[in-house]
Structure 1
Amino acid sequence: MLLDPDAENDVAYELCQLLGRAILPYHRTGETGRDVAGGHATAFFYRDGGRDWLLTADAVTGGAGELGLRPSVTEPAGAAPEALPVDGWVRRPDLGVAILSAAELERRAGEGGWAWRTQPVVEVIAADAAVVARVGAEPGSAFVLALGVREEGARPLEVAIERVVRVDDVVRITAEIPAGYLGAPVFGVEASADGGVALHCLGLVLPGGSDGHPVATFDRIRAALPGASDA
Protein backbone atom coordinates (compact mmCIF):
# COMPACT_ATOMS: atom_id res chain seq x y z
CA MET A 1 0.00 0.00 0.00
CA LEU A 2 1.43 3.35 -1.04
CA LEU A 3 0.32 6.30 1.08
CA ASP A 4 0.35 9.94 0.07
CA PRO A 5 3.16 12.09 1.56
CA ASP A 6 0.99 13.67 4.27
CA ALA A 7 -0.24 10.27 5.45
CA GLU A 8 3.33 8.95 5.45
CA ASN A 9 4.45 11.84 7.63
CA ASP A 10 1.59 11.12 10.04
CA VAL A 11 2.63 7.46 10.32
CA ALA A 12 6.27 8.44 10.89
CA TYR A 13 5.26 10.80 13.70
CA GLU A 14 3.08 8.16 15.37
CA LEU A 15 5.87 5.59 15.20
CA CYS A 16 8.20 7.91 17.09
CA GLN A 17 5.54 8.49 19.75
CA LEU A 18 4.46 4.87 20.15
CA LEU A 19 7.72 2.97 19.66
CA GLY A 20 10.50 5.48 20.14
CA ARG A 21 11.55 3.66 23.31
CA ALA A 22 11.67 0.27 21.57
CA ILE A 23 15.04 0.98 19.96
CA LEU A 24 18.60 1.31 21.22
CA PRO A 25 21.88 2.23 19.53
CA TYR A 26 24.27 -0.70 19.19
CA HIS A 27 27.98 -0.35 18.45
CA ARG A 28 30.38 -3.14 17.60
CA THR A 29 33.50 -2.39 19.66
CA GLY A 30 35.60 -5.40 18.60
CA GLU A 31 37.69 -5.37 15.45
CA THR A 32 35.82 -8.21 13.73
CA GLY A 33 32.88 -6.88 11.75
CA ARG A 34 33.51 -3.19 12.30
CA ASP A 35 33.74 -2.85 8.53
CA VAL A 36 29.98 -3.58 8.38
CA ALA A 37 28.28 -0.17 8.56
CA GLY A 38 31.18 1.06 10.69
CA GLY A 39 29.99 -1.23 13.46
CA HIS A 40 26.95 0.99 14.11
CA ALA A 41 23.48 -0.51 14.19
CA THR A 42 20.06 -0.24 15.79
CA ALA A 43 18.62 -2.91 18.07
CA PHE A 44 15.01 -3.13 19.19
CA PHE A 45 12.90 -4.85 21.82
CA TYR A 46 10.23 -7.31 20.72
CA ARG A 47 7.63 -8.90 23.03
CA ASP A 48 6.39 -12.35 22.06
CA GLY A 49 4.14 -14.45 24.28
CA GLY A 50 5.07 -12.49 27.40
CA ARG A 51 8.84 -12.72 26.82
CA ASP A 52 10.97 -9.81 25.68
CA TRP A 53 13.83 -10.14 23.21
CA LEU A 54 16.38 -7.76 21.76
CA LEU A 55 16.86 -8.08 18.00
CA THR A 56 19.39 -6.70 15.53
CA ALA A 57 21.34 -7.69 12.43
CA ASP A 58 23.70 -10.64 12.87
CA ALA A 59 26.42 -8.94 10.81
CA VAL A 60 27.44 -6.65 13.68
CA THR A 61 27.21 -9.04 16.64
CA GLY A 62 30.13 -11.44 16.20
CA GLY A 63 32.42 -9.74 18.72
CA ALA A 64 32.38 -7.29 21.60
CA GLY A 65 29.68 -4.65 21.48
CA GLU A 66 27.68 -2.27 23.60
CA LEU A 67 24.21 -0.81 23.80
CA GLY A 68 23.82 2.90 24.26
CA LEU A 69 21.38 3.60 27.10
CA ARG A 70 19.29 6.56 26.04
CA PRO A 71 17.93 8.47 29.06
CA SER A 72 14.34 7.90 27.92
CA VAL A 73 14.60 4.09 28.18
CA THR A 74 15.81 3.80 31.79
CA GLU A 75 14.69 4.96 35.22
CA PRO A 76 15.29 6.61 37.63
CA ALA A 77 17.03 9.45 35.83
CA GLY A 78 20.81 9.32 36.02
CA ALA A 79 21.02 5.85 37.58
CA ALA A 80 21.96 3.86 34.46
CA PRO A 81 25.37 3.99 32.76
CA GLU A 82 25.69 5.59 29.33
CA ALA A 83 26.47 2.24 27.71
CA LEU A 84 26.05 -1.44 28.55
CA PRO A 85 28.46 -4.08 27.20
CA VAL A 86 26.53 -7.03 25.76
CA ASP A 87 27.35 -10.49 24.50
CA GLY A 88 25.61 -13.85 24.37
CA TRP A 89 23.66 -13.18 21.19
CA VAL A 90 21.95 -16.17 19.61
CA ARG A 91 23.23 -15.73 16.08
CA ARG A 92 21.24 -16.84 13.06
CA PRO A 93 23.41 -15.96 10.05
CA ASP A 94 21.07 -17.99 7.85
CA LEU A 95 18.41 -15.36 8.55
CA GLY A 96 20.77 -12.43 9.12
CA VAL A 97 19.37 -11.92 12.62
CA ALA A 98 20.83 -11.91 16.15
CA ILE A 99 18.62 -12.49 19.20
CA LEU A 100 19.26 -11.69 22.86
CA SER A 101 16.96 -12.52 25.76
CA ALA A 102 15.94 -9.38 27.63
CA ALA A 103 15.91 -11.34 30.91
CA GLU A 104 19.69 -10.95 31.26
CA LEU A 105 19.44 -7.23 30.52
CA GLU A 106 16.75 -6.87 33.18
CA ARG A 107 18.91 -8.74 35.70
CA ARG A 108 21.87 -6.47 35.06
CA ALA A 109 19.68 -3.40 35.41
CA GLY A 110 18.38 -4.63 38.76
CA GLU A 111 21.90 -5.24 40.02
CA GLY A 112 22.85 -1.72 38.97
CA GLY A 113 19.93 -0.08 40.75
CA TRP A 114 17.99 0.98 37.68
CA ALA A 115 15.20 -0.39 35.48
CA TRP A 116 14.22 -0.48 31.83
CA ARG A 117 11.43 1.78 30.59
CA THR A 118 10.80 0.54 27.08
CA GLN A 119 8.03 0.31 24.47
CA PRO A 120 8.65 -3.04 22.74
CA VAL A 121 7.28 -3.94 19.35
CA VAL A 122 4.46 -6.28 20.33
CA GLU A 123 3.40 -9.56 18.77
CA VAL A 124 0.12 -8.21 17.42
CA ILE A 125 1.86 -5.83 14.99
CA ALA A 126 4.67 -8.21 14.00
CA ALA A 127 3.90 -9.40 10.47
CA ASP A 128 2.86 -13.03 10.13
CA ALA A 129 3.43 -15.13 7.02
CA ALA A 130 0.19 -13.94 5.41
CA VAL A 131 1.10 -10.27 5.80
CA VAL A 132 4.61 -10.87 4.47
CA ALA A 133 3.20 -12.78 1.49
CA ARG A 134 1.09 -9.76 0.52
CA VAL A 135 4.18 -7.61 -0.06
CA GLY A 136 4.34 -7.56 -3.84
CA ALA A 137 6.28 -6.17 -6.77
CA GLU A 138 4.53 -2.79 -6.61
CA PRO A 139 6.29 -0.38 -4.21
CA GLY A 140 4.56 0.25 -0.91
CA SER A 141 5.22 2.74 1.87
CA ALA A 142 7.83 1.61 4.38
CA PHE A 143 9.09 3.24 7.55
CA VAL A 144 12.45 2.49 9.19
CA LEU A 145 12.60 3.52 12.85
CA ALA A 146 16.26 3.89 13.72
CA LEU A 147 19.01 5.74 15.53
CA GLY A 148 21.20 7.52 13.01
CA VAL A 149 24.86 8.45 13.40
CA ARG A 150 26.03 12.06 13.48
CA GLU A 151 29.61 13.18 12.91
CA GLU A 152 30.07 14.00 16.60
CA GLY A 153 28.85 10.52 17.56
CA ALA A 154 25.28 11.41 18.58
CA ARG A 155 22.59 8.80 17.79
CA PRO A 156 19.34 10.72 17.14
CA LEU A 157 15.94 9.06 16.79
CA GLU A 158 14.95 9.10 13.11
CA VAL A 159 12.36 7.67 10.74
CA ALA A 160 13.29 7.05 7.11
CA ILE A 161 10.29 6.92 4.76
CA GLU A 162 11.17 4.40 2.08
CA ARG A 163 9.61 1.96 -0.39
CA VAL A 164 9.28 -1.78 0.11
CA VAL A 165 8.90 -4.39 -2.65
CA ARG A 166 9.32 -8.09 -3.25
CA VAL A 167 12.13 -8.98 -5.68
CA ASP A 168 12.84 -12.63 -6.49
CA ASP A 169 10.81 -13.63 -3.42
CA VAL A 170 12.88 -11.38 -1.14
CA VAL A 171 11.31 -8.42 0.68
CA ARG A 172 13.53 -5.39 0.12
CA ILE A 173 13.81 -1.70 0.86
CA THR A 174 14.58 -0.04 -2.46
CA ALA A 175 17.05 2.63 -1.28
CA GLU A 176 20.35 2.63 0.58
CA ILE A 177 19.85 3.44 4.25
CA PRO A 178 21.92 5.88 6.34
CA ALA A 179 24.57 4.87 8.87
CA GLY A 180 23.21 3.32 12.05
CA TYR A 181 20.07 1.87 10.45
CA LEU A 182 21.32 -1.71 10.15
CA GLY A 183 19.14 -3.98 12.31
CA ALA A 184 16.37 -1.38 12.66
CA PRO A 185 12.69 -2.38 12.49
CA VAL A 186 10.90 -1.88 9.17
CA PHE A 187 7.18 -1.10 9.15
CA GLY A 188 4.72 -1.41 6.30
CA VAL A 189 1.05 -0.62 5.85
CA GLU A 190 -1.95 -2.21 4.20
CA ALA A 191 -5.66 -1.54 4.02
CA SER A 192 -7.55 -2.83 7.05
CA ALA A 193 -10.94 -4.55 7.02
CA ASP A 194 -12.68 -1.39 8.27
CA GLY A 195 -11.25 0.72 5.44
CA GLY A 196 -8.46 2.23 7.50
CA VAL A 197 -4.73 1.58 7.51
CA ALA A 198 -3.13 -1.35 9.34
CA LEU A 199 0.48 -1.01 10.47
CA HIS A 200 2.77 -4.06 10.58
CA CYS A 201 6.39 -4.53 11.57
CA LEU A 202 7.71 -6.44 8.58
CA GLY A 203 11.10 -7.27 10.08
CA LEU A 204 14.55 -5.72 10.34
CA VAL A 205 17.09 -4.19 7.96
CA LEU A 206 19.96 -6.37 6.71
CA PRO A 207 23.19 -5.29 5.00
CA GLY A 208 22.75 -4.10 1.44
CA GLY A 209 24.02 -1.37 -0.83
CA SER A 210 23.09 1.34 -3.29
CA ASP A 211 20.31 -0.83 -4.75
CA GLY A 212 18.62 -1.26 -1.37
CA HIS A 213 18.54 -3.70 1.52
CA PRO A 214 16.88 -7.05 2.14
CA VAL A 215 14.56 -7.33 5.13
CA ALA A 216 14.64 -10.27 7.56
CA THR A 217 10.90 -10.83 7.87
CA PHE A 218 9.09 -11.41 11.13
CA ASP A 219 7.49 -14.69 10.15
CA ARG A 220 10.99 -16.20 10.05
CA ILE A 221 12.30 -14.23 13.04
CA ARG A 222 9.46 -15.47 15.25
CA ALA A 223 10.15 -19.08 14.27
CA ALA A 224 13.84 -18.59 15.17
CA LEU A 225 13.26 -17.36 18.73
CA PRO A 226 14.78 -19.73 21.30
CA GLY A 227 12.08 -22.11 22.44
CA ALA A 228 9.87 -21.63 19.38
CA SER A 229 8.33 -24.94 18.37
CA ASP A 230 9.43 -24.64 14.75
CA ALA A 231 12.80 -22.94 15.27
Structure 2
Amino acid sequence: MLLDQETENEIIFELCQLLGRAILPLRRYDRPGAPAEGFGTAFFYTELVGATDDGEVVHEWLLTAEAATTGAYGEIGLRPSVTDPAEGAAEPIVLPDFADQWLRLPELGLAAMPTGGLHGYAEDRGWSWRTQQVADAVAADAGVIAGVGAVPGSAFVLALGVGDDGSRPLEAVIERVVRDGDELRITAELPAGYLGAPVFAVRTGADGALAVHCLGLVLPGRDGGHPVATFDRIRTALVEATAGYR
Protein backbone atom coordinates (compact mmCIF):
# COMPACT_ATOMS: atom_id res chain seq x y z
CA MET A 1 0.00 0.00 0.00
CA LEU A 2 1.37 3.40 -1.00
CA LEU A 3 0.56 6.03 1.61
CA ASP A 4 0.55 9.81 1.44
CA GLN A 5 3.51 11.63 2.98
CA GLU A 6 1.64 12.80 6.07
CA THR A 7 0.50 9.27 6.91
CA GLU A 8 4.00 7.92 6.28
CA ASN A 9 5.42 10.42 8.76
CA GLU A 10 2.82 9.42 11.34
CA ILE A 11 3.73 5.75 10.91
CA ILE A 12 7.44 6.51 11.34
CA PHE A 13 6.75 8.40 14.57
CA GLU A 14 4.60 5.54 15.88
CA LEU A 15 7.26 2.94 15.08
CA CYS A 16 9.95 4.88 16.93
CA GLN A 17 7.70 5.13 19.98
CA LEU A 18 6.50 1.52 20.00
CA LEU A 19 9.61 -0.31 18.80
CA GLY A 20 12.57 2.02 19.20
CA ARG A 21 13.80 -0.17 22.08
CA ALA A 22 13.37 -3.39 20.08
CA ILE A 23 16.60 -2.94 18.10
CA LEU A 24 20.27 -3.31 19.01
CA PRO A 25 23.43 -2.41 17.06
CA LEU A 26 25.85 -5.10 15.88
CA ARG A 27 29.51 -4.76 14.98
CA ARG A 28 31.84 -7.50 13.76
CA TYR A 29 35.63 -7.52 13.55
CA ASP A 30 38.57 -9.86 13.05
CA ARG A 31 40.27 -9.46 16.44
CA PRO A 32 39.98 -7.28 19.56
CA GLY A 33 40.98 -3.71 18.81
CA ALA A 34 40.70 -4.18 15.04
CA PRO A 35 38.58 -1.88 12.86
CA ALA A 36 35.03 -2.99 12.25
CA GLU A 37 34.48 -5.30 9.29
CA GLY A 38 30.80 -4.48 9.19
CA PHE A 39 27.78 -3.15 11.03
CA GLY A 40 24.22 -4.33 11.38
CA THR A 41 21.00 -4.08 13.34
CA ALA A 42 19.28 -6.88 15.27
CA PHE A 43 15.82 -6.88 16.81
CA PHE A 44 13.86 -8.74 19.46
CA TYR A 45 11.02 -10.96 18.23
CA THR A 46 8.60 -12.95 20.39
CA GLU A 47 7.42 -16.12 18.66
CA LEU A 48 4.05 -17.42 19.83
CA VAL A 49 4.40 -21.17 20.41
CA GLY A 50 1.24 -21.98 22.39
CA ALA A 51 -1.09 -21.03 25.20
CA THR A 52 -1.90 -22.26 28.70
CA ASP A 53 -4.40 -21.28 31.37
CA ASP A 54 -1.80 -18.76 32.53
CA GLY A 55 -1.50 -17.07 29.15
CA GLU A 56 0.53 -17.23 25.96
CA VAL A 57 3.77 -19.19 25.69
CA VAL A 58 6.42 -17.39 23.65
CA HIS A 59 10.03 -17.86 22.63
CA GLU A 60 12.06 -14.66 22.46
CA TRP A 61 14.68 -14.34 19.73
CA LEU A 62 17.21 -11.77 18.60
CA LEU A 63 17.02 -11.74 14.79
CA THR A 64 19.32 -10.29 12.15
CA ALA A 65 20.81 -11.06 8.75
CA GLU A 66 23.30 -13.93 8.68
CA ALA A 67 25.78 -11.67 6.87
CA ALA A 68 25.88 -9.39 9.94
CA THR A 69 27.21 -12.23 12.13
CA THR A 70 30.20 -13.58 10.18
CA GLY A 71 33.07 -12.01 12.14
CA ALA A 72 35.49 -13.89 14.38
CA TYR A 73 34.49 -11.39 17.07
CA GLY A 74 31.30 -9.43 17.43
CA GLU A 75 29.64 -6.88 19.65
CA ILE A 76 26.02 -6.47 20.57
CA GLY A 77 25.77 -2.82 21.48
CA LEU A 78 23.76 -1.52 24.40
CA ARG A 79 21.91 1.76 24.80
CA PRO A 80 20.85 3.40 28.08
CA SER A 81 17.22 3.15 26.99
CA VAL A 82 17.30 -0.68 26.90
CA THR A 83 18.98 -1.42 30.25
CA ASP A 84 17.75 -0.93 33.81
CA PRO A 85 19.57 0.87 35.28
CA ALA A 86 20.88 2.89 32.33
CA GLU A 87 24.45 2.39 33.57
CA GLY A 88 24.21 -1.23 32.42
CA ALA A 89 24.79 0.03 28.88
CA ALA A 90 28.30 1.31 29.64
CA GLU A 91 30.01 -1.56 27.79
CA PRO A 92 28.88 -3.62 24.78
CA ILE A 93 28.45 -7.38 24.92
CA VAL A 94 31.62 -8.77 23.32
CA LEU A 95 31.30 -12.26 21.85
CA PRO A 96 34.26 -14.28 20.54
CA ASP A 97 33.39 -16.89 17.91
CA PHE A 98 30.60 -14.53 16.98
CA ALA A 99 29.25 -16.63 14.12
CA ASP A 100 28.83 -19.64 16.41
CA GLN A 101 26.58 -17.74 18.83
CA TRP A 102 23.69 -17.80 16.35
CA LEU A 103 21.32 -20.32 14.86
CA ARG A 104 22.20 -19.84 11.21
CA LEU A 105 19.60 -20.34 8.47
CA PRO A 106 21.54 -19.59 5.28
CA GLU A 107 18.68 -20.55 2.98
CA LEU A 108 16.90 -17.43 4.27
CA GLY A 109 19.98 -15.32 5.00
CA LEU A 110 18.81 -15.30 8.64
CA ALA A 111 20.60 -15.56 11.99
CA ALA A 112 18.63 -16.06 15.20
CA MET A 113 19.82 -16.06 18.81
CA PRO A 114 17.67 -17.35 21.69
CA THR A 115 17.77 -14.60 24.30
CA GLY A 116 18.22 -16.72 27.43
CA GLY A 117 21.96 -16.09 27.38
CA LEU A 118 21.44 -12.34 27.02
CA HIS A 119 19.17 -12.27 30.06
CA GLY A 120 21.69 -14.32 32.01
CA TYR A 121 24.48 -11.94 30.98
CA ALA A 122 22.49 -8.99 32.33
CA GLU A 123 21.56 -10.74 35.58
CA ASP A 124 25.20 -11.63 36.27
CA ARG A 125 26.09 -7.94 36.00
CA GLY A 126 23.27 -6.57 38.10
CA TRP A 127 21.01 -5.09 35.45
CA SER A 128 18.00 -6.17 33.41
CA TRP A 129 16.73 -5.61 29.91
CA ARG A 130 14.09 -2.95 29.30
CA THR A 131 13.25 -3.67 25.70
CA GLN A 132 10.34 -3.71 23.32
CA GLN A 133 9.74 -6.62 20.94
CA VAL A 134 8.25 -7.24 17.53
CA ALA A 135 5.36 -9.40 18.71
CA ASP A 136 4.14 -12.40 16.76
CA ALA A 137 0.88 -10.56 16.07
CA VAL A 138 2.83 -7.75 14.36
CA ALA A 139 5.03 -10.09 12.30
CA ALA A 140 3.40 -10.50 8.89
CA ASP A 141 1.72 -13.78 7.99
CA ALA A 142 1.59 -15.32 4.52
CA GLY A 143 -1.53 -13.35 3.61
CA VAL A 144 0.11 -10.00 4.35
CA ILE A 145 3.25 -11.00 2.44
CA ALA A 146 1.17 -12.13 -0.53
CA GLY A 147 -0.56 -8.75 -0.54
CA VAL A 148 2.65 -6.97 -1.55
CA GLY A 149 2.58 -6.65 -5.32
CA ALA A 150 4.68 -5.36 -8.19
CA VAL A 151 3.45 -1.79 -7.66
CA PRO A 152 5.75 -0.03 -5.14
CA GLY A 153 4.25 0.44 -1.69
CA SER A 154 5.34 2.32 1.41
CA ALA A 155 7.92 0.58 3.56
CA PHE A 156 9.53 1.67 6.81
CA VAL A 157 12.93 0.55 8.08
CA LEU A 158 13.87 0.98 11.75
CA ALA A 159 17.63 0.74 12.24
CA LEU A 160 20.70 1.94 14.08
CA GLY A 161 22.82 3.85 11.58
CA VAL A 162 26.55 4.52 11.74
CA GLY A 163 27.70 8.06 12.53
CA ASP A 164 31.00 9.55 11.42
CA ASP A 165 32.21 9.23 15.02
CA GLY A 166 31.17 5.57 15.24
CA SER A 167 27.96 6.31 17.15
CA ARG A 168 24.84 4.27 16.35
CA PRO A 169 21.87 6.66 16.23
CA LEU A 170 18.29 5.43 16.02
CA GLU A 171 17.07 6.04 12.48
CA ALA A 172 13.80 5.41 10.67
CA VAL A 173 13.52 5.78 6.91
CA ILE A 174 10.66 5.64 4.44
CA GLU A 175 11.35 3.49 1.39
CA ARG A 176 9.44 1.50 -1.22
CA VAL A 177 8.86 -2.25 -1.27
CA VAL A 178 7.86 -4.36 -4.29
CA ARG A 179 7.41 -7.99 -5.20
CA ASP A 180 10.11 -9.34 -7.51
CA GLY A 181 9.17 -12.91 -8.39
CA ASP A 182 9.11 -14.93 -5.18
CA GLU A 183 10.82 -12.28 -3.06
CA LEU A 184 10.14 -8.84 -1.66
CA ARG A 185 12.66 -6.07 -2.26
CA ILE A 186 13.44 -2.63 -0.91
CA THR A 187 13.99 -0.59 -4.06
CA ALA A 188 16.84 1.62 -2.80
CA GLU A 189 20.26 1.04 -1.28
CA LEU A 190 20.30 1.53 2.49
CA PRO A 191 23.08 3.11 4.58
CA ALA A 192 25.64 1.32 6.71
CA GLY A 193 24.19 -0.34 9.80
CA TYR A 194 20.84 -1.25 8.23
CA LEU A 195 21.71 -4.87 7.46
CA GLY A 196 19.33 -7.09 9.47
CA ALA A 197 16.98 -4.25 10.40
CA PRO A 198 13.21 -4.85 10.55
CA VAL A 199 11.07 -3.72 7.60
CA PHE A 200 7.47 -2.63 8.15
CA ALA A 201 4.48 -1.98 5.92
CA VAL A 202 0.85 -1.05 6.41
CA ARG A 203 -2.30 -2.88 5.41
CA THR A 204 -5.96 -2.02 5.85
CA GLY A 205 -7.57 -4.33 8.40
CA ALA A 206 -11.04 -5.84 8.34
CA ASP A 207 -12.32 -2.86 10.34
CA GLY A 208 -10.95 -0.42 7.78
CA ALA A 209 -8.19 0.85 10.06
CA LEU A 210 -4.52 0.83 9.09
CA ALA A 211 -2.47 -1.93 10.72
CA VAL A 212 1.33 -2.02 10.82
CA HIS A 213 3.04 -5.33 10.04
CA CYS A 214 6.70 -6.33 10.14
CA LEU A 215 7.42 -7.86 6.74
CA GLY A 216 10.82 -9.23 7.75
CA LEU A 217 14.41 -8.01 7.77
CA VAL A 218 16.93 -6.39 5.44
CA LEU A 219 19.33 -8.70 3.58
CA PRO A 220 22.59 -7.69 1.84
CA GLY A 221 22.08 -5.32 -1.04
CA ARG A 222 22.18 -6.22 -4.71
CA ASP A 223 21.05 -4.61 -7.97
CA GLY A 224 20.44 -1.25 -6.32
CA GLY A 225 18.17 -2.53 -3.55
CA HIS A 226 17.80 -5.11 -0.78
CA PRO A 227 15.90 -8.41 -0.63
CA VAL A 228 13.76 -8.90 2.46
CA ALA A 229 13.75 -12.15 4.48
CA THR A 230 10.01 -12.40 5.08
CA PHE A 231 8.30 -13.51 8.27
CA ASP A 232 6.18 -16.22 6.66
CA ARG A 233 9.42 -18.05 5.87
CA ILE A 234 11.17 -17.01 9.09
CA ARG A 235 8.44 -18.57 11.23
CA THR A 236 8.55 -21.85 9.33
CA ALA A 237 12.34 -22.02 9.41
CA LEU A 238 12.52 -21.40 13.17
CA VAL A 239 9.94 -24.11 13.86
CA GLU A 240 11.76 -26.63 11.67
CA ALA A 241 15.21 -25.79 13.06
CA THR A 242 14.10 -26.15 16.69
CA ALA A 243 11.56 -28.97 16.31
CA GLY A 244 13.48 -31.28 18.65
CA TYR A 245 13.62 -28.72 21.46
CA ARG A 246 10.02 -27.56 21.74
User: Which TM-score tier does this pair reach, normalised by the shorter chain?
Assistant: over 0.9
> Does residue 105 in structure 1 map to residue 118 in structure 2?
yes
Q: Is the 8 A contact 1:222 1:228 kept in 2?
A: no
Aligned pairs for 1:175-190 (under 5 A) are: 175-190=188-203
Instruction: State the 1:38 CA deviation.
Output: 4.6
Instruction: State the 1:198 CA deviation.
Output: 1.3
Bigger radius of gyration, 1 or 2?
2
Structure 2 residues not aligned, in runs of 5+: 49-57
- Structure 2 letter corresponding to 1:69: L
Q: Is the 8 A contact 2:161 2:171 kept in 1?
A: yes
Q: Which residue of 1 aligns with 2:42?
A: 43
Superposition TM-score, scaled by structure 2 size: 0.88
Give 4+ residue runs of structure 1 displaced > 6 Å after superposition.
Answer: none
Counterpart Cα distance in 2 of 1:136 and 1:210:
19
Counterpart Cα distance in 1 of 2:88 and 2:148:
43
Q: Pick one of 212, 220, 226 that aligns with 1:207.
A: 220
Determine helix, strand or coil for the equivalent of 1:60: helix
Determine helix, strand or coil for the equivalent of 1:154: coil
Q: Which residue of 1 aligns with 2:55?
A: none
Determine helix, strand or coil for the equivalent of 2:8: helix
- Structure 2 letter corresponding to 1:149: V
Counterpart Cα distance in 2 of 1:196 and 1:216:
26
> Does residue 65 in structure 1 map to residue 74 in structure 2?
yes
Q: Which residue of 1 aligns with 2:10?
A: 10
Instruction: State the 1:62 CA deviation.
Output: 2.2
Which range moved further: 189-198 or 213-222? 189-198
Aligned pairs for 1:90-129 (under 5 A) are: 90-129=103-142
The count of residues paired between Structure 1 and Structure 2 equals 227
Q: Is the 8 A contact 2:160 2:171 kept in 1?
A: yes
Q: Pick one of 223, 226, 229 that aligns with 1:216.
A: 229
Q: Is the 8 A contact 1:80 1:112 kept in 2?
A: no
Instruction: State the 1:80 CA deviation.
Output: 3.9
Counterpart Cα distance in 2 of 1:81 and 1:105:
16
Instruction: State the 1:81 CA deviation.
Output: 3.6
Determine helix, strand or coil for the equivalent of 2:145: helix
The CA deviation string for residues 95-151 of structure 1, in whole angstroms up to 9 with x for no partner, is: 001000011100111011110000010000101111111111011100000001111
Instruction: State the 1:30 CA deviation.
Output: 2.3
- Structure 1 letter corresponding to 2:112: I
Q: Which residue of 2 aligns with 1:227?
A: 242
Q: Is the 8 A contact 2:38 2:68 kept in 1?
A: yes
Q: Which residue of 2 aligns with 1:138?
A: 151
Q: Pick one of 78, 83, 91 that aligns with 1:82.
A: 91
- Gap change, CA 1:210 and 1:159, over 3 Å in 2: farther
Q: Is the 8 A contact 1:202 1:218 kept in 2?
A: yes
Percent identity over the alignment is 61
- Structure 1 letter corresponding to 2:188: A
Q: Is the 8 A contact 1:95 1:216 kept in 2?
A: yes
Aligned pairs for 1:143-154 (under 5 A) are: 143-154=156-167
Superposition TM-score, scaled by structure 1 size: 0.93
Counterpart Cα distance in 1 of 2:105 and 2:163:
29
Aligned pairs for 1:190-201 (under 5 A) are: 190-201=203-214
> Does residue 155 in structure 1 map to residue 168 in structure 2?
yes
Q: Which residue of 1 aligns with 2:52?
A: none
Determine helix, strand or coil for the equivalent of 1:21: coil
Q: Is the 8 A contact 2:79 2:89 kept in 1?
A: no
Determine helix, strand or coil for the equivalent of 1:39: strand
